[in-house]
Amino acid sequence: MNAPTVVHLSLGERAYDIVIGQHHLDGLGARLAAQHAGRKAVVVTNAVVGPLYGARVEASLSRAGFQVGTVTIDDGETVKHLGTVSEIYDQLLERFRADRQTLLVALGGGVVGDITGFVAATYYRGVPFVQVPTTILAAVDSSVGGKTGVNHPLGKNLIGAFYQPVLVWADLEVFQTLEPRERSAGLAEVVKYGLIRDPALFDLLENHVEAIAALDPEMMARIVADSCRIKAEVVGEDEREGGVRALLNMGHTAGHAVEALTGYCQFRHGEAVAIGHCVAALISRNRGWLPDADYSRIAPLLRRLNLPVDLPSFSVDEYLKAMGRDKKWIGGKARWILLKGIGQGVIADDVATEEVISALIALGASE
């Protein structure tokens, strides 16, 4: 078994490691015991992941001397709201009597990680937490960087906080239990890193779709590590999204609108982001920024990864209204992440409504 890859995210006293490996889930407890003084841990997971990996994580923590409890929430984006947060608070206070040294362990995908991180940021004004991602999307994106939060009926992730984990522990073995659609959804975020910063990663995806679809261990280790390195570099430069970190929102301006308009239940987050990539790429091409040769590579790769590329049939006005509620709007205008080439993401605050409308109609929105 190869040694895990460690990506370090440098944030001064809030720095932490992202440990990426195969078959090392059972080593989590020993690692945490070596770096955390407290000996009480609460695992937060969901009804799908818990039966698969909950017992192993609990056993690992117990062997390392932790007193362990578990909170199980329902699966899916529809539970990502303040009601679920309040239910977890209740269990921490009443059932586990969690104190400020209690360690929260987020065992699951992006929803579990985002909720657990927000609970950790706000319970007793902050307790330590660990990300144990069980989806590709969580491993390459949402578990890294400290964005936590929940949705509001008017928009995605509108309630949240920047709050860093003390460790990200990614065991690629767990991807084997993901259904194919969930695997593809996670790969949309890997495509994002290729689009904004790493043309070699984009090339790798194009050239090895079959191996990636089969979860080839060597290929998965490489794309997860490359993605995490890019995100760690960006977050290390700009933790709170005052500048370059906005590049990580590639595909999310239109993608969040797709999710909101479909009630967070028709598309996986990564699927919506894939559609958002296509909207941003078309705006970029129409501006004359993105060469046709590069533009023509994006949708075909997404299709080969079994990701959607067309907008669901809502009106232009509905899309614009949904985008207008997104937190990425500044001074009444959307901040778009556009492309000047594969691997060349740029922040654009001057995108005219007419440009957006043209791209929306071309990709399936009604007039």
Query: pLDDT tens digit string along 148-207?
Result: 999 988 878 889 999 999 999 999 999 999 999 999 999 999 999 999 999 999 999 999
The single residue of 24, 31, 147, 197 carrying the catalytic annotation is 147
Is 328 one of the annotated active-site residues of the chain? no
**Which pair of tokens denotes residue 131?**
């990300």
Residue 54 has pLDDT above 90, yes or no: yes
CA distances from residue 78 to 251, 259, 262, 307, 336 in whole angstroms, order as listed: 21, 11, 12, 21, 26
Confidence bin at 333 (pLDDT 50/70/90): confident
Using DSSP's 3-state secondary structure scheme, residue 149 falls into strand
CATH class of the structural domain 5-177: alpha beta
Is 259 one of the annotated active-site residues of the chain? no
Is 245 one of the annotated active-site residues of the chain? yes
- The H or E element that residue 61 is part of is helix 55-63
The single residue of 24, 80, 183, 231 carrying the catalytic annotation is 231
Residue 1 has pLDDT above 60, yes or no: no
CATH class of the structural domain 180-362: mainly alpha
Is 147 one of the annotated active-site residues of the chain? yes
The pTM for the full model equals 0.93
The single residue of 183, 252, 268, 285 carrying the catalytic annotation is 252
Give the contacts of 288 (CB within 8 A, at least 6 positions apart).
none
**Averaged over 54-66, what is the pLDDT?**
98
Is 156 one of the annotated active-site residues of the chain? no
Using DSSP's 3-state secondary structure scheme, residue 298 falls into helix
- Which amino acid would we find at residue 117? G
The single residue of 58, 77, 182, 241 carrying the catalytic annotation is 241
Is 152 one of the annotated active-site residues of the chain? no
CA atoms within 13 A on the CB side of 198: 23
The single residue of 46, 151, 157, 249 carrying the catalytic annotation is 249
* Distance, CA of 148 to CA of 125 (rounded, Å): 14
Nearest alpha-carbon partner for 268 in 305, 300, 240: 305
**Averaged over 348-360, what is the pLDDT?**
96
| Beta-carbon count within 10 A of 314 CB | 18
Query: pLDDT tens digit string along 234-288?
Result: 999 999 988 999 999 999 999 999 999 998 889 999 999 999 999 999 999 999 9
* Distance, CA of 26 to CA of 219 (rounded, Å): 23
pLDDT value of residue 308: 98
**Which pair of tokens denotes residue 306?**
């079994």
* Distance, CA of 253 to CA of 325 (rounded, Å): 10
- What residues does CATH 3.40.50.1970 cover in the chain? 5-177
- What residues does CATH 1.20.1090.10 cover in the chain? 180-362
